Amino acid sequence: MKRQEFLKTSGLIIASSLIGNCQGRVKKEKEVEARKGALRLSTTIYELQLRQAWTLSRGTWNTRRNVLVRLEKDGVVAYGESAPIPRYNESAESNQEFIQRALPVLEKDLWEYQDRWRELEALAPGQNAAKAALDMAILDWVAKSLGIPLYRFFGLDRNKTLPTTFSIGIDTVEVMQKTAQSVPAFRRLKIKVGVADDKKHIEGIRAVTDRPLVVDANEGWKDRQQALEMINWMAERGVEFVEQPMPAANLEDHRWLKERVKIPIMADESVHKIQDVPALASAFHGINIKLMKCGGLQEALRLVAVARAHGLKLMIGCMIESSLAIAAATTLTPLFDYADLDGNILINNDPFRGLTLDGDRWLLTDKPGLGVEPVIPEW
C-alpha cells in the first residue's frame, strides 16, 4: 500500500519534471548549436549541517564541507559530489583544486569514460573524493545522454537495492537510546564504538531494541587482546559484524584476530583500491567500499569483482553526503551484501532531491542518470 502510494506520487513527479525537461531541452538545443562541444564546469563548496553532533572514535563534527560539481556538455547537465576525507589529507579546497585541474581531461570525449578515469587517477595521487565526484558526474552525463537511469546503464535492477543501516554516533547512553528508538523503520542499526564506554553503549542500545546491530570501531581499539575480547562480547549481544577494529596499517593483528573472532570483521580504513584487496583477504572477512575512499563508481565496481574473487563479503558505505552521492552508491547495492548509506539522513540541508526512503530502502526512479536534482536555485 505504502509502496503503491509512493509509485503514484513519484509518477506524478516524473510527469511534471518531464514537462520541465522538454521545455529546457528545446531551449538548450539552440544554445548548444552555438557552442557545440563546449564544456562548462562549476564547483561549489557546500556546508552540510548535521542534525546532531557526529562523534566517531577520532573526533566530533557539527558540519561537513563537501564539493558539488556541475558539468555541462553538449546540452546535458550532470552532477557529482565529493565528501573530502581529512584522514587522507583531503579538504574541500584540495578537492576543488583537483577538480579544476582536471578540466583538460573533461574536455576530451566523455563516452570513453574508462580512459577518463585512468587519466584522473594519473593526474595526482590521493584526492579520491574529488575523483569520485568527477567519475560520478561523467557517468551521470553518459547515462543522461543515453536517456537512461544509471542503474540501467550498469545492468542492475532497482528493485534489488539493499536496505540501509542507520548509523548512531558516539554519545551519552540516553541520546544513543533515543536515536535508536526514533528510527523504527531501520531493521539494522550501526553503532559507532572505539571508546572507553563501548560496553555501556551497547548494553544501553540493547535495553531498548532487539534489532540486529553492526558495529564500527573506526580503528579505535589499539590492542588485539582488547579487540578480541570486545568483539566476542558483542557477538553474544546480537552484533552481526565489526568494522575496522584496529588501526588500518595493522594487518598482522587483524590476521590474528580473524582466526579467533566469533563474528566477521570488515575492513574499512584498510581498503582503498583494488591493489589493497589481496593482502586483506587473510586479515578480514569482508570489506567496506566507499565511493569517496576508492575514487568513484568505476573503481567500486572493480573492487567488487576483485573482492568477490577473494571470497570476501561486501558492504557499501558512505561519508556524510547529500542525496546525490547516496543515489550514486545506491545504484550499486544489488552487488553487495550490506549497505550503509545514510549520510543524507543525518543532515538537515540536503542540496539534492529525488531519492525517497521506503522504510529503510532507497527507491530509485526511472529518471535518466543519477535521478536526483539540485534544490539550490542558482543550479
Cβ proximity to Mg ion, 213 vs 372, nearer residue: 213
Cβ proximity to Mg ion, 86 vs 147, nearer residue: 86
Whether the Cβ atoms of residue 164 and residue 360 lie closer than 8 Å to each other: yes
Q: Record the cell numbers describing residue 310, joined without a space.
A: 577473494
CA distances 166 to 84, 86, 266, 359, Å, are 21, 23, 17, 11
Cα(146)–Cα(143) distance, integer angstroms: 5
Where is 303: in which H helix or E strand?
Answer: helix 297-309
Q: What is the pattern of x (binds Mg ion, CB under 5 A) and - over residues 161-200?
A: ----------------------------------------
- Residue 288 CB, nearest approach to Mg ion (Å): 6
CA nearest to 331, candidates 76, 140, 125, 110:
140
Cβ proximity to Mg ion, 116 vs 192, nearer residue: 192
Whether the Cβ atoms of residue 188 and residue 165 lie closer than 8 Å to each other: yes
Stretch that binds Mg ion, among 107-115, 124-132, 205-213, 216-224 (CB under 5 A): 216-224
| Residue type (1 letter), 31 | E
Cα(125)–Cα(122) distance, integer angstroms: 7
- Residue 286 CB, nearest approach to Mg ion (Å): 12
- Residue 179 CB, nearest approach to Mg ion (Å): 18
DSSP-derived secondary structure letter, 179: H
Stretch that binds Mg ion, among 137-145, 210-218, 326-334, 341-349 (CB under 5 A): 210-218
Query: Contacts with Mg ion in 77-96 (CB under 5 A)?
Result: none
Kind of pairing, strands 59-73 and 286-290?
A: unpaired
- Residue 20 CB, nearest approach to Mg ion (Å): 39
- Asked if 276 is part of the footprint of Mg ion (rule: CB under 5 A), the reply reads no
Cβ proximity to Mg ion, 69 vs 214, nearer residue: 214
Cβ proximity to Mg ion, 105 vs 339, nearer residue: 339
Cβ proximity to Mg ion, 121 vs 243, nearer residue: 243
Kind of pairing, strands 59-73 and 39-56?
A: antiparallel
| Residue type (1 letter), 358 | D
Stretch that binds Mg ion, among 32-40, 111-119, 266-274, 321-329 (CB under 5 A): 266-274
Cα(124)–Cα(165) distance, integer angstroms: 34
**Residue in the block written with cell 562541444:** 37
- Residue 203 CB, nearest approach to Mg ion (Å): 22
Residue among 198, 243, 321, 350 that touches Mg ion (CB under 5 A) = 243
- Helix intervals (H) in 215-345: 224-235, 251-258, 277-280, 291-294, 297-309, 323-332
Whether the Cβ atoms of residue 150 and residue 370 lie closer than 8 Å to each other: yes
Q: What is the pattern of x (binds Mg ion, CB under 5 A) and - over residues 121-140?
A: --------------------
Cα dihedral 6→360→167→356 (10° resolution): -20
Residue among 268, 299, 321, 342 that touches Mg ion (CB under 5 A) = 268
- Residue 244 CB, nearest approach to Mg ion (Å): 6
Cβ proximity to Mg ion, 216 vs 373, nearer residue: 216
- Asked if 321 is part of the footprint of Mg ion (rule: CB under 5 A), the reply reads no
- Asked if 216 is part of the footprint of Mg ion (rule: CB under 5 A), the reply reads yes
**Number of C-beta neighbours around residue 82 at 10 A:** 34
- Residue 246 CB, nearest approach to Mg ion (Å): 13
Residues in touch with Mg ion (CB under 5 A): 216, 243, 268
